């Protein structure tokens, strides 16, 4: 981890909660007796699919945007994103009256791309590789002077993402475990900071697609994997875990459960049917991870963060137009 990076802590999460409070939704926490019975545990669902921009990403984006001083903010912000972070950053920037440049790889989910544009972001397309995304980001930053707000390695973003767990724990009361999806690691890292700032005994678990299991492999090896080609329906979880996120996950002993896409889609259907909530696969994987390890969670109080609900409805209803 670079020494230039300020690693966030619990105080940063609390500061993020205060800073972003005027802008983010305090999302509901839902229960389901039938899902409790399936899991053999007591489940609390934090509904970040009902967050502004349709995902938890708005928390981190808002904190990062409003943490900038006025002179820096005036030059705008830039990021690369497959969708949810881009839409969130565009919406947060619009609230502050500044420009947002979003680098979007070819093949991004149409619904997420539309959300970026509706939120007022300027879309810049690039090839679907991390190298291309980073190069395009740097070119826009050099041209405009915009501040890079990375989707998951920015300390202010990580702290902002932790506010979802902070709200969940303060509403649900003592929980034994928190389960969140993991891609780049910002939500998992922020959740660990929030959870252990309240109670160091809380177990934090992350759910990762088996076709994009770099976080699981990295933690097992003790060093971050920096090359992996993802194959998963969870488009929001295809990013490699960030360096700062990896170190925070190690420090907080976060466990990673890998889940195949079939189990994730089955869990998504359960959430739609039982909770009557629209969630995307990248969100449903958290419930899938709990159901996959039923013995581990049996009898425990489990918080699950439903991270987003930006489903590609055009693809879902293809052939029915």
Say what the pLDDT of residue 318 is: 56
Claim to verify: residue 49 and residue 71 sit in the same structural domain: no
Q: What percent of the chain has pLDDT over 90?
A: 79
Task: Clarify whether residues 221 and 137 are in a common domain.
Answer: no
Query: Residue range 276-295: average pLDDT?
Result: 97
Number of CB atoms found within 10 A of residue 14's CB = 17
pLDDT of residue 286: 98
* pLDDT tens readout for residues 160-177: 999 999 999 999 989 999
Domain boundary among 130, 148, 166: 148
Could you tell me if 227 and 275 lie in one domain? yes
Residues 230 and 86 in one domain: no
In the beta sheet, which residues pair with residue 105?
A: 126
**pLDDT confidence tier of residue 2, bands split at 50, 70 and 90:** very low
SS3 136: helix
- Residue 103, classed as helix, strand or coil, is strand
Average pLDDT over residues 183-189: 96
* 234-275 pLDDT, tens digit each: 988 888 899 999 999 999 999 999 999 999 999 999 999 999
Query: Is 82 a residue of the active site?
Result: yes
Mean local confidence (pLDDT), 188-199: 98
Domain assignment present for 250: yes
Q: Residue 102: inside a domain, yes or no?
A: yes
10 Å Cβ neighbour count for 29? Answer: 15
Residue 5 lies in a domain: no
129 within domain boundaries: yes
- Predicted local distance difference test score (pLDDT) of residue 255: 96
d(CA 203, CA 187): 15
In a domain, 167, yes or no: yes
Query: Last residue of a domain, which of 148, 174, 197?
Result: 148
In this predicted structure, the answer to whether residue 284 has a pLDDT above a threshold of 90 is yes
Residues 76 and 28 in one domain: no
**CB atoms closer than 10 angstroms to residue 5:** 13
pLDDT tens for residues 219-243?
A: 999 999 988 888 999 988 888 899 9
Per-residue confidence (pLDDT) for residue 84, from 0 to 100: 85
Q: Which two tokens stand for residue 98?
A: 């500044």
CATH of the domain at 66: 3.40.50.1100
Q: Are the C-beta atoms of residues 309 and 273 closer than 8 Å to each other?
A: no
Mean pLDDT along residues 34-56: 96
Q: Pick from 192, 197, 173: which is nearest to 182 by CA? A: 192
pLDDT at 14: 98
pLDDT at position 1? 38
- State yes or no: pLDDT of 64 exceeds 80: yes
Q: How far is CA 224 from the centre of its chain?
A: 19
Q: Which of 57, 112, 218, 283 is catalytic?
A: 57
Measured between alpha carbons, how far is 170 from 267 in angstroms, rounded to an integer? Answer: 26
- Of the candidates 97, 114, 102, which has an alpha carbon nearest to the alpha carbon of residue 150? 102
- Checking if the pLDDT of 17 tops 60, the result is yes
- Whether 218 sits among the annotated catalytic residues: the reply is no
Answer yes or no: is pLDDT of 207 > 50.
yes
What six digits make up the tokens of 239? 């990013």
pLDDT exceeds 90 at position 30:
yes
Rounded to the nearest 10°, the torsion over CA 220, 223, 229, 233 is 50
- Cα 34–Cα 254–Cα 266 angle in degrees, nearest 5: 30
- The position carrying tokens 């001083």 is 69
Distance CA 181, CA 282 (A): 7
Write out the DSSP string of 32-92: -HHHHHHHTSEEEEEEGGGSGGGBTHHHHHHHHHHHS-HHHHTT-EEEE-SSHHHHHHHHH
8 A C-beta contact, residue 289 and residue 207: yes
Looking at every residue in the chain, the average pLDDT score rounds to: 92
Range of the domain at 130: 58-148
Per-residue pLDDT, 93: 97
Q: How far apart are CA 196 and CA 163, in angstroms?
A: 13
pLDDT at 3 over 50: no
Q: What is d(CA 7, CA 256) in angstroms, rounded to the nearest whole number? A: 21
Domain end position, chosen among 89, 121, 148: 148
Q: Is residue 4 part of a domain?
A: no
Choose the catalytic residue: 20, 62, 81, 82.
82
Q: For 133-158, what is the mean pLDDT? A: 94
Looking at the predicted structure, is the pLDDT value of residue 81 above 80?
A: yes
Count the domains in the chain: 2
């Amino acid at each position: 981890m670079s020494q230039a990076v300020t690693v966030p802590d619990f105080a940063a999460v609390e500061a993020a909660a205060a800073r972003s409070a005027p802008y983010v939704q305090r999302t509901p926490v839902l229960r389901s007796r039938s899902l409790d019975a399936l899991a053999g545990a007591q489940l609390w669902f934090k509904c970040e699919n009902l967050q502004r921009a349709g995902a938890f990403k708005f928390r981190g984006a808002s904190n990062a945007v409003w943490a900038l001083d006025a002179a820096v903010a005036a030059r705008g912000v830039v990021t690369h994103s497959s969708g949810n972070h881009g839409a969130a950053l565009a919406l947060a920037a619009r609230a502050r009256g500044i420009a947002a440049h979003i680098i979007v790889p070819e093949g991004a989910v149409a619904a997420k791309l539309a959300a970026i544009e509706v939120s007022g972001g300027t879309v810049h397309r690039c090839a679907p590789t991390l190298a291309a995304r980073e190069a395009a980001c740097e070119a826009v930053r050099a041209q405009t002077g915009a501040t890079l707000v990375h989707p998951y390695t920015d300390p202010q973003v990580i702290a902002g993402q932790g506010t979802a767990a902070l709200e969940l724990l303060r509403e649900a009361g003592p929980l034994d475990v928190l389960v969140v999806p993991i891609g780049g690691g910002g939500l998992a890292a922020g959740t660990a900071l929030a959870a252990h700032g309240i109670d160091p005994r809380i177990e934090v678990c992350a759910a990762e697609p088996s076709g994009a299991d770099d976080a699981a492999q990295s933690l097992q090896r003790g060093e971050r994997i920096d090359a992996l080609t993802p194959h998963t329906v969870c488009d929001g979880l295809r990013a490699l875990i960030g360096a700062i996120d990896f170190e925070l996950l190690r420090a907080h002993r976060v466990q990673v459960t890998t889940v195949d896409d079939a189990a994730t889609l089955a869990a998504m259907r359960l959430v739609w049917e039982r909770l009557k909530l629209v969630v995307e696969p990248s969100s449903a994987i958290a419930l899938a991870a709990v159901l996959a390890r039923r013995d581990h969670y049996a009898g425990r109080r489990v918080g699950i963060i439903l991270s987003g609900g930006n489903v590609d409805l055009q693809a879902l209803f293809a052939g029915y137009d």
